[in-house]
Structure 1
Amino acid sequence: MYAKFCSIEILSSYIKEVSMGDLLTVQALVTNPLDWQHFYEKISSIREGERTDFMVVTAEGDRLQGSGDVVEMERWSSRGQWGFRIKIRVKKQKSLTDRRTRAPKPAVKPAIEVTAKPAAVATAPEVSVEDVARFKELLKGSLAMDISA
C-alpha cells in the first residue's frame, strides 16, 4: 500500500488504516523518532480546508487518484509511538484499475509457414589414382610427408 497527499508520501510500513468513500481517511503509526520528525514537519503545515491532490495504491495494486479538501487533521503520541490521521473530502476521484502495474505482454509474432524443399544429396567428388599421385608429388617436400614415410 502507498498513499501520497499534501506533499507527504506514506509507505505501507506506516499505514495502519485506509478507507475510501466520500471521505478518504489515512491513519499512520510511526515508531522511529527520526521518521516522526520528518512526518511532523510536513503535518504541521497542513491546514483544515486546504485543497490537496491525493493518490492511494491499495494492497491489490489498484490506484486511486483525485483531489479534495482536508477536513480533519489529528496527531497523537503514546509510549514511544506517534501517529496521525488525515481525512480528505473527495471532490474528484479517478480509479485507475485498468492501469494496474503489470508486466508487459510479449508481442505475438505471426506464424511463418516454412515449406521445406528437398535437400540435394551431396556426393563426394570422384578422385582418381592420378589425382592422388599428383597430390603426393605436391607434398613431397612437406613435413607431413616426411612423418608418414
Structure 2
Amino acid sequence: MPRPGAGTVRGVRRDGGRGRGEDHGGRAWSLRGLADLLSLRGECERALVLLARAERTCREMRPASVPAYHHTMRGNVFFRAGRYEEARHRYALALSELRAMDEPRGRALARLGPVESLARLGRQAGATCADLDVLEVEFDRIGLTYARRAVAEFRGELLPAALA
C-alpha cells in the first residue's frame, strides 16, 4: 500500500492523477528545452513540432501560465529563424497573458522580444534604444542580470547597423 502523499508534489500528483508515475511537467519542460536548442541550431520546424507536443502535454495538466510561456518560446523560435512578424505576434500574445497574471519576471522578459522583433522589421534605432533603456532599468530592478546582458548584446548589434 503506498504511503500517503507518495507520487505527489505539494499535494498534486506528478502523473496527472493517472497512476503511471509519469512527470508530465518535466517532460514538457524538457521538450521546450530541446526545442530551444534546435532553434539555436537553425532547425525551426523541428523545434515547432516539439513545442506543439509540449503544449499538448501542458494542456492536459492545465497550469495557468503555460500558454504564455509557450507563446514566448514560439516567439524565440520564430525570431531565431528570422520570422520577425510571427515572433512579434507570439510575444504580444505572451505579454497580454502575463499581464493578466502576477508574473513580473515573465512580463519583463516578454517585453524584450517585441522590441527586438520590431527593430529587425525596420523600426528606427532611436525608438528601439529608448525601449531598451526602460527594459534595462526594469531588468536591474528585478534582478534579471542575464536579460540585462541580452539587452547590452542586442544594443551592440543594433547601433553599428544604425550608423551604417
Structure number with bigger Rg: 1
Greater strand share, 1 or 2?
Answer: 1
Q: Which has the higher contact order (CA 8 A, sep 6+)?
A: 1
Normalising by the residue count of structure 1, what TM-score does the alignment of the two structures yield?
Answer: 0.23
Normalising by the residue count of structure 2, what TM-score does the alignment of the two structures yield?
Answer: 0.21
